[in-house]
Amino acid sequence: MIVKFVGQGPLPCAFPVWPGSEDARDPPQRAATSDQMPATSSTHEPRIAIEPGFVWDRQDAYLFDIDGTLVRSRDRIHIDSFTSSVQRVMGFEVTLAGILLAGSTDTAILREACRQARIPAEEFESRSEAILEAMRATVAERRNEMVVERMPGVEDALRHLARRGALLGVATGNLEVIGWIKIEQAGLREWFRFGGFSDRFPVRSELIGRAAQKARELAGRGASVCVVGDTPRDIDAAHANSLAVIAVATGRFGFDELLEHRPEVCATSLADLLALTREEA
């Protein structure tokens, strides 16, 4: 049941909000070591907040984050490739413990893990490309063991946007090879025409900027580009590039946490957002 009201109370914005029972959801779990095991409950009250005047499904192009937004990985193949690749290339033991993975990038995570392990910077710089290549090869070799689940409503939302003529791309902190493997394993490859990845962009706002540039090369210079993501880092990176953002609480962060970062749209899931749109049509 979706209840509509115009929020004026403690919410940081004055756009219409459809609140739900916060108690119905699992609390966000930030301490886990993987951003690929989100804390989403299967039963929740749909909640949607949309900034007045913003029409979420009428943008020219969309940049979808992968982990926590389109899919969740039920295996540790990608996560374990960081430590096994550093071990193989440099002989050092590193750990991802203590690094906030959600919304980060593979290249930034690798750098931070090596810094924490006190690997000398010059040594890391000289071997970082070899480590990234080992990660790509490891994940590619094990692609058929991966267990990648789609988030609720993802394919319906992609179909809905594609039917409206939108250009669809991915923009993710994954390395390119790894990101496309996840998309292929989830059976979603046909929807996407381009992507932005972290191979050359450890900073998320820079990879989003580059992906938006690609979107405009394909969709036209004045095309409106909208980011879809599951973390405050997605929201901040979109806004740093003056792009609108649809935030979905299907990853590690809850609806209210995401709403604090003022996305143009905040939704408990793409399925809920689509259901509301169809209800109003």
Instruction: State the nearest-atom distance from the C-beta of 12 to Mg ion, in Å.
Output: 22
* Choice from 46, 68, 152, 254 touching Mg ion (CB under 5 A): 68
Rg of the chain over all Cα atoms, to the nearest angstrom: 19
Query: Residues touching Mg ion: how many (CB under 5 A)?
Result: 4
Tokens found for residue 202: 């450890």
Distance between CA 124 and CA 189 in Å, rounded?
34
Which of these segments, 58-66, 129-137, 142-150, 192-200, binds Mg ion (CB under 5 A)? 58-66
90/109 with CB nearer Mg ion? 109
65/256 with CB nearer Mg ion? 65
Tokens found for residue 69: 């937004």
Chain length of the chain = 281
Instruction: State the nearest-atom distance from the C-beta of 249 to Mg ion, in Å.
Output: 11
Count CB-CB contacts under 10 A for residue 10.
6
79/117 with CB nearer Mg ion? 79
* Beta-strand pair 225-229/61-64: parallel
Nearest of 108, 85, 96 to residue 37 by alpha carbon:
96
Distance between CA 210 and CA 241 in Å, rounded?
10
The C-alpha torsion from 121 through 123 and 128 to 134, rounded to 10°, is: -140
Strand segments, DSSP code E, in 32-137 are: 48-50, 61-64, 71-73
Binding to Mg ion (CB under 5 A) within 88-147 occurs at none
Distance between CA 11 and CA 255 in Å, rounded?
12
152 binds Mg ion, rule: CB under 5 A: no
Which of these segments, 1-9, 65-73, 144-152, 193-201, binds Mg ion (CB under 5 A)? 65-73
Binding to Mg ion (CB under 5 A) within 215-244 occurs at 230
- For tokens 């970062």, the residue is 261
By beta-carbon distance, which residue lies closest to Mg ion? 68
Instruction: State the nearest-atom distance from the C-beta of 229 to Mg ion, in Å.
Output: 6
| 110 CA to centre of own chain | 18
- 3-class secondary structure, 266: strand
65 binds Mg ion, rule: CB under 5 A: yes
- For tokens 């493997």, the residue is 181
Instruction: State the nearest-atom distance from the C-beta of 70 to Mg ion, in Å.
Output: 9
67/264 with CB nearer Mg ion? 67
67 binds Mg ion, rule: CB under 5 A: yes
85/231 with CB nearer Mg ion? 231
Site string for Mg ion, 179-218 (x = CB under 5 A): ----------------------------------------
Instruction: State the nearest-atom distance from the C-beta of 10 to Mg ion, in Å.
Output: 27
Instruction: State the nearest-atom distance from the C-beta of 30 to Mg ion, in Å.
Output: 13
Distance between CA 69 and CA 245 in Å, rounded?
12
Q: Catalog residues that contact Mg ion under the rule CB under 5 A.
A: 65, 67-68, 230
